[in-house]
Chain A
Amino acid sequence: MAWFSRLRGLFRTKELAREQDEELQFHLSMREQWNVEQGIAREEARRDARVRLGNASVWRERMSEVDLMILPRTVLQDLRYGARMLGRSAGFTTVAVLALAIGIGINTAAFTAYKAMFTRALDARDPGRMVNLALILHSGDTNSWLSYPDYEAYRDHMRSLSGVIAQYPEQLTLSGAGEVVSQRSAANGSLMARWGLLPTGTAASNVEFASTFAVLKNYFEVLGIAAFRGRTFEGMSKPELAASPAVMISENYWQRRFGADPALLGKSIRLNGVAFTVIGITPRDFVGTSVVTPDFWLPLSLEPLVHPDEHLLEDRENQCCRVFGRLAAGVSMSQAQAEMNLLADRLRALHDSHSELAKPVNAQIWAGSPFPRKLNAGFRLAILLIMVAVGMVLVISCANVASLQLARVASRQDELDMRLSLGASRLRLIRQLLTESALLGLLAGAFALLFSWGLLAAAVAKFAGDLPAEYGTLVFHVNPDLEVFAYVFGISLLAGVLFGLAPALESSRSALSSALKANAGTAPARGRRLRDLLVAAQVAVSLVLLIAGSLLIRSSIHALKMDTGYESNHVVDLDFHLPEGREYTAERKAAIARELRTRIVALPGVAAITSARAPDGPGLRWAAISINGEKPTDHNSQAYLYYTCVQTNYFETMGIPLLFGRGFEAQQGQHEASVIVSEAAAKQLWPGQNPIGRTVRLGTDGQFHPQGEFRPDGPSYEVIGVTRDTRGEMLDNSDAAQVYVPMPEDRLGDHPILIRTQGDPAQTMGAIGAAIASVDPNVVATTSTLEQMLRLTTPFITAAFAAAIATTIGLVGLLLASMGIYGTVSYMVVLRTREVGIRMALGAKRRDVLLLMLRESTRPVLAGLLAGMILAVGASYLLRKVLYGLSTVDGVSFGGVVLLFLSIALLASYLPSRRAMRVDPMVALRYE
């Protein structure tokens, strides 16, 4: 334990010193006495004793080196000295700490958020035993959603799981809860709505929505969660529930919507018109198997009550539910997976023969998480983009501080020379400089920690506040996390040491040679090259970020302005849901739909209406197409294409021009066996040939269709016309290829109504609510223009979101880079004061000096811009998938950003350069 006693020695240095002294003194006096005993005179004996001992202070120092741990003591010295040096140049310290803190803070925030979001476990007691259940399909896709009958099979037969639960999210209308609170319009102006993350549009009738999770009775029991107040569904039998429907409310919604009214328990509210009794309140922020706490939890067995027309509980093909389980004691995940595999194999026979689930599947069981195993590709791209961008900011801030550090060390050359000539070793000097850097890093780390927590808390509050109550409450804890804390400290220390290393090596080397003082007062050439390199690197990296940001912004603007191929500003989409239940027979529904159409046509400002899915709306359908007259199968299909059921006046109403052939001509009641195809579809089916007069057959087996929807399978259709392509919602534009199928008259009620308006669509949208209410107040409808819907499509969201993030981060990079340029040029001016003095004494004009300074400082900026542009070409090549209708080398983005950067860089170097002009030659020459 030598190191331990040496460490302990540090705390008793005085005592040790006394003991060492005593030991030596004892030796001296013993030798003296011995000498006297040998007959030497006392004076001579004492002198001889001292000579024989040697230099006592040297021996004491050697003993200290043995007895004490020297390193910590000198480290403490370094720290004290470093802190003093940092305090003396407060300006430098502030800029460096700030720059580094921004870089580290943004990174910490991004990683904390990522960790908090995607590595979170299920909200349960002992979450380590909870697992997700999913199937890997024959096609290789992972299916995280299972149908209710399948769920029941797993629940009843799996021995390796002690409990299996399912969750089915949906939105229901809320009534009987006092005054209607319309949340959707409030969200229209919010940030999330602008990014297309929330549907905008307006609820046409006075309807309030609430988010619900339909769950199994045993849900709370398996998760191990008790009700905050009241009770859970546990112990209520199915008939009991059916007789008196019960619902649980989340604490968050109870606070938000009902002001925490204690009297709500036991009262009844209506969901989709059905009365439910509130029997319990779930604990605050309880999210169960999701990341959002819903407004209500209702028993899945009551699903037929709120949706009488759907048969969710019997439909084996409707993959409605996420399924989770709790491992039984002593069972491993792979054992459970093996058991599930056997079951899945048996369930295959029960599935529709065209279903993917009838083919061989593989069970997959993994650690419980609210997220599906594979995040979708767009999401992953966005996350990657953010991570790369924040990483680049860290690079910029480190380069920034390194260049500042280098400049500062250069200005401290005299001090370093002094210390070297007084006998400090080069290693000792490097250690001192590194200590200062590390101190800087730690200081920045501390600030970064505060900064990132503030940033996260603000962001979470903003998003949570923006989410309307009808989507539930986002629960996202960004509590301080020990791992992230370690991460920040690790990064800040590493960054501190890394950026301190280069200047330290550099300056200690030049300190040796500059004893010659040949070029004192000008920067050593090697130091300047490194500094220029660092400035250039900052400029290049932040240029890439800014160009990427600008490309994405322009692309999202472009995405909105680009010709869609149809009229989007003056067409309103009216999406309506007819009430369900026994009272609403098919005839009554058809009558309501007819009546709605008549009322809407009569509204002022309405030019025409047609029933169809909006080109940029939800509900895309696709089918296998054969062109040889046979029923399409996997073998004889020419292509898989999207199709849309349309009324005969669809093309006129939407403003989609017919290129050749003719439009639909069928009269009322007649059914016409003809289709119209888009240009892109024609090209795919009959490349280079005239499609008019040819026939197609459509097959929708195995493709997704809600129950009861019209399927265009069966007859041969004759192609009678070709229309221009329209732009839809697919990122790759694959839905431009469309087959338009005539809609049977009795199917009008299944589709939204598209309304072509003459004047301002807002006026028409305002009048629709009353018209619908006068037909039947139970019809739930929302309206939005096609323009608004366009903003909700994937390409737009991806572009808008990426643009916002890349630009924010790019601006931070620009800020950091200008700080770096400013700081570096400032120090350069100080360093060259003497040189400038000589130049001016020799007759240089102030203008010449300014030009010299600007020339010197813009050189690395220009080099950085050049490198940045090359990198940006590469970056935009990678981004090409989300760039909408822009060439990857977009002149405006590149030129604009480079000009912006250049002018900011010039300004950042002009300000400190001005100081050089004001140098008084006399003062400068006396500067030494």
Chain B
Amino acid sequence: MTRTKGDNLQGSLALLVLKSLEQGPMHGWGIALHIQRISNEVLRVEEGSLYPALHRMEQEGWIAAAWGLSENNRRARFYRLTDQGRKQLAVERENWQKIIGAVGLVLGFGQA
């Protein structure tokens, strides 16, 4: 269980959220749970920090929010991906691949 803090993860948080929402609309708790599960519990966001990030992405226009009913019939705020968000996802994904590739190159140096 690594708890990473810092800019890098802030940037990747957006990627994770956008990727999660590709499945369909979700509320904040659902996103947190999804990331936790899919990443085999390695990536665990600080749960509260998810919400300012969600609101910021909403202001950017990447996601849209609406109040709806949750699976246990409670009022919850659901987020869904917008068209702009889909484009942003592609950009973020590409960035991430670049970073991974670059890090890979640095780590691979001298081992061959």
Contact = CB atoms under 8 A, between A and B. Distances in A.
Interface of A: 2, 5-6, 19-20, 22-24, 26-27, 29-31, 33-34, 52-56, 58-59, 62-63, 65-67
Nearest to B67: A19
Contacts of B52: 59, 62-63, 65-66
A66 B28 CA distance: 16
A916 to B, nearest CB: 56
Interface residues of B, number: 22
A55 B49 CA distance: 10
Interface stretch (B9-17, B54-62, B102-110): B54-62
A67 B48 contact: no
B48 A2 contact: no
Given A2-B60, A2-B61, A67 B55 contact: yes
A66 B48 contact: no
B41 to A, nearest CB: 12
A27 B52 CA distance: 14
Q: Classify the secondary structure of B's interface with A.
A: helix
B34 interface: no
Given A30-B29, A66-B56, A23 B61 contact: no
A611 B28 CA distance: 109
B46 interface: yes
Interface of B: 27-29, 32-33, 46-49, 51-52, 55-56, 59-61, 70, 72, 74-77
Contacts of B29: 26-27, 30-31
Nearest to B50: A27
Contacts of A62: 51-52
A275 B55 CA distance: 89
Nearest to B55: A66
Nearest to A23: B77
Nearest to A62: B52
Contacts of B56: 66
B59 A56 contact: no
A13 to B, nearest CB: 14
Given A26-B28, A63-B51, 13 more contacts: A19-B77, A23-B28, A23-B51, A23-B76, A24-B48, A26-B74, A26-B77, A27-B51, A33-B72, A53-B48, A54-B48, A54-B49, A67-B55
Given A2-B60, A6-B59, A66-B56, A22 B75 contact: yes
Nearest to A22: B75
Given A26-B70, A27-B29, A2 B59 contact: yes
Contacts of B48: 24, 53-56, 58-59
Contacts of A53: 47-48
Contacts of A52: 46-47
Contact of A26 (B27, B49, B55, B60): B27
A19 B27 CA distance: 13
13 contacts: A24-B48, A26-B76, A26-B77, A27-B28, A27-B29, A30-B29, A30-B70, A34-B33, A52-B47, A59-B49, A62-B51, A63-B55, A66-B59
A27 B47 contact: yes
Nearest to B44: A52
B79 to A, nearest CB: 11
A474 to B, nearest CB: 61
Contacts of B55: 63, 66-67
Contacts of A66: 52, 55-56, 59
4 A-B pairs closest in CB distance: A62-B52, A54-B48, A30-B29, A59-B48
A185 to B, nearest CB: 79
Contacts of B32: 27
A530 B72 CA distance: 69
Contacts of B33: 34
A31 B77 CA distance: 15
A20 to B, nearest CB: 8
A27 B72 CA distance: 13
A716 to B, nearest CB: 99
B101 to A, nearest CB: 32
A34 B75 CA distance: 17
A54 B33 CA distance: 16
A30 B31 CA distance: 12
Nearest to A52: B47
B47 to A, nearest CB: 5
A66 B49 CA distance: 13
Contact of B47 (A19, A54, A63): A54
B111 to A, nearest CB: 39
Given A26-B76, A27-B29, A30-B29, A5 B47 contact: no
Contacts of B27: 26
A130 to B, nearest CB: 54
Give the most central of B48, B52, B77: most A CB within 10 Å: B48
Give the most central of A27, A29, A58: most B CB within 10 Å: A27
Contacts of B28: 23, 26-27
Contact of B75 (A5, A26, A33): A26
